[in-house]
Amino acid sequence: MSNLKLVIADDEPLARERLRMLLADEPGVEVVAEAGDGQQVLDACVLHDPHVVLLDIAMPGIDGLEAARLLARADPPTAVVFCTAYDAHALSAFEAAALDYLVKPVRPERLSAALERVRTFLAGRPPTDAPQRRTRLCARLRGSLRVIPLDEVRYLQAEEKYVVVHHARGQDLIEESLKSLEDEFGDLFVRIHRNCLVARQELVELRRSMDGQVHAVLRHGGPSLEVSRRCVPQLRQTLRHL
């Protein structure tokens, strides 16, 4: 394969520098980014699409374990090798689908073995010529990116030139059209109104109010959403097959 693209993630600059020095002796490795916290890790993976992240566990904000769980949901997943000062998190690390667990100070021979394990993992993926469909959306937030896994999205609502993504952790704006999202993810979302798509897994039932207006009730609560009359027949059909 071509160079192994790699992100170094640690909140300690000296720890990142040591890993970079060790990697300088590893052939076929390209460090594409460094990160000091979990959110920066996710941002770097969106921007650079690395093969693997060397990931510390104890970091501010999103910690390494949570970042690893999010990266494991990607398609294909981003490989993770933990580099941490403690061995107490090994079980949790492998439950988060880590390929290896290195204890600081990282020894050169252990790092080499971990990278070889990553190459073996990548070589075992089935080849495909088809482009991979996204498994997450990205919202810009005060100069950074927030990664939103698609399976956490509850509904999408158009608002002027933006779309508001309502998800398990709140809501964010993305600069995409509702129509393009419907074209890309029509198997995951269903239109209930000209300005709203709802995740199929969120639909529970349709209720008609006293004034005859139909509303969609969502699995995780929140406000019931107005359904346009032209969408009611399709929604009733969708609910029968859920």
**Model confidence pLDDT, tens digit, residues 162-183:** 999 999 989 999 888 999 999 9
How far apart, in whole angstroms, are the C-alpha atoms of residue 55 and residue 152?
24
How far apart, in whole angstroms, are the C-alpha atoms of residue 111 and residue 100?
9
Q: List, for residues 88-110, the tens digit of each pLDDT value.
A: 666 676 667 788 889 899 999 99
The tokens for 205 are 């039932």
Angle at 78 between CA 125 and CA 83, to 5 degrees: 120
Predicted confidence band at 1 (pLDDT cuts at 50, 70, 90)?
Answer: low
Percent of the chain scored above 90 by pLDDT?
A: 55
pLDDT at position 205 over 70:
yes
Q: List, for residues 121-145, the tens digit of each pLDDT value.
A: 888 765 444 445 677 887 877 656 6
